[in-house]
Amino acid sequence: MLHIIPVLDLKDGQVVRAQMGQRDSYRPIVTPLNAGSDAVAVAGGLRTLFPFPTFYIADLDAIEGRAPNSEAIARLATMPDTPELWVDAGIADAQILAATLAEPSLCPVLGSESQRDDSLLKRFRGHTGLILSLDFFDDGFRGPAALLNQPDLWPQRVIVMTLAKVGSATGPDFARLREIKAKAGSRSVIAAGGVRDEADIRALSSLGIEAALVATSLHNGMLTAKQLALLGR
């Protein structure tokens, strides 16, 4: 069975509820798992369902060119049973990427939407900590075409991020995942967007998907503690 990785979307220091890539409309999360929208509190609430060893962090402020949520990310990195943090912070600079790769608990996510060209990927693709996110919006792929069309540039882990599916409860983008999986060879492919329930998790696993980034179905109870224990990863 594939790994389930909870998502924390950060904006103005708080976890927000993502909805189909419409970032201007994101508001602080309301969840039965904990009180408030503090990042560490939300992560702790998610861990009441399952002892997740990894979290995916979308630093929306950094992605959109504002001051990064560094303090919230630093606090997440010092939680008990220190999680591995996959962090998309709009990195498009070699010095920042190298510094992030040097942090033991951080795995930088190179989002295609933030890249000007393929130079960072060419330079760092061999680093085991690097993750590539292929970002798809309503208007299609966002980023340099070389990142999508040259799978030989891809690192070992590749996220297929379908923003229109995020928070939509419409199911994963199975067609696109099959397409990327066919190109990826032995690389790990991670699904992001639209995961609703255990049936979706099992369907993704049957496609050979390594992991799924999940938020809504954890907070609304469609994936329960019992199901997560049975899924076991």
User: What band does 4 get if pLDDT is binned at 50, 70 and 90?
Assistant: very high
3-state secondary structure of 231: helix
Q: What is the mean pLDDT of residues 68-73?
A: 97
Backbone angles phi, psi at 200, to 5 degrees: -65, -40
Task: Report how far Cα 128 is from the mean position of its chain's Cα atoms.
Answer: 17
Give the Cα separation of 120 and 100 in Å (integer).
Answer: 13
Band (pLDDT 50/70/90 cuts) for residue 231 is confident
- The Cα–Cα gap between 4 and 169 comes to 16
pLDDT of res. 24:
64
What is the band of 164 on the pLDDT scale with cuts at 50, 70, 90?
Answer: confident
Alpha-carbon distance of 233 to 62, in angstroms, equals: 30
Q: What pairing do the DSSP bridges indicate for beta strands 211-214 and 3-11?
A: parallel
134: pLDDT strictly greater than 90: yes
In this model, does residue 150 exceed pLDDT 70? Answer: yes
Cβ atoms of 121 and 153 closer than 8 Å: yes
Please give the pLDDT value at position 227.
94
- pLDDT score of 211 more than 80: yes
121 closest CA partner among 87, 163, 156: 156
- Alpha-carbon torsion (68, 121, 139, 161), positive or negative: negative
Q: Check pLDDT > 80 for residue 124.
A: yes
**What's residue 1's pLDDT?**
75
C-alpha to C-alpha distance for 109 and 195, rounded to whole angstroms: 20
Question: What is the mean pLDDT of the segment spanning 127-148?
Answer: 95
Give domain limits for the chain. Answer: 3-231
Mean pLDDT throughout 88-113? 96
Please determine, for residue 90, whether its predicted confidence score (pLDDT) is greater than 90.
yes
Using a cut of 0.85, tell me whether the model's pTM lies above it. yes
Q: Which two tokens stand for residue 123?
A: 């330079």
Q: Which CATH superfamily is domain 3-231 in?
A: Aldolase class I (3.20.20.70)
Return the H-helix or E-strand segment holding 101: helix 94-101
pLDDT digit string, tens, across residues 27-48: 789 899 999 999 999 999 999 9
Average pLDDT, the chain: 93
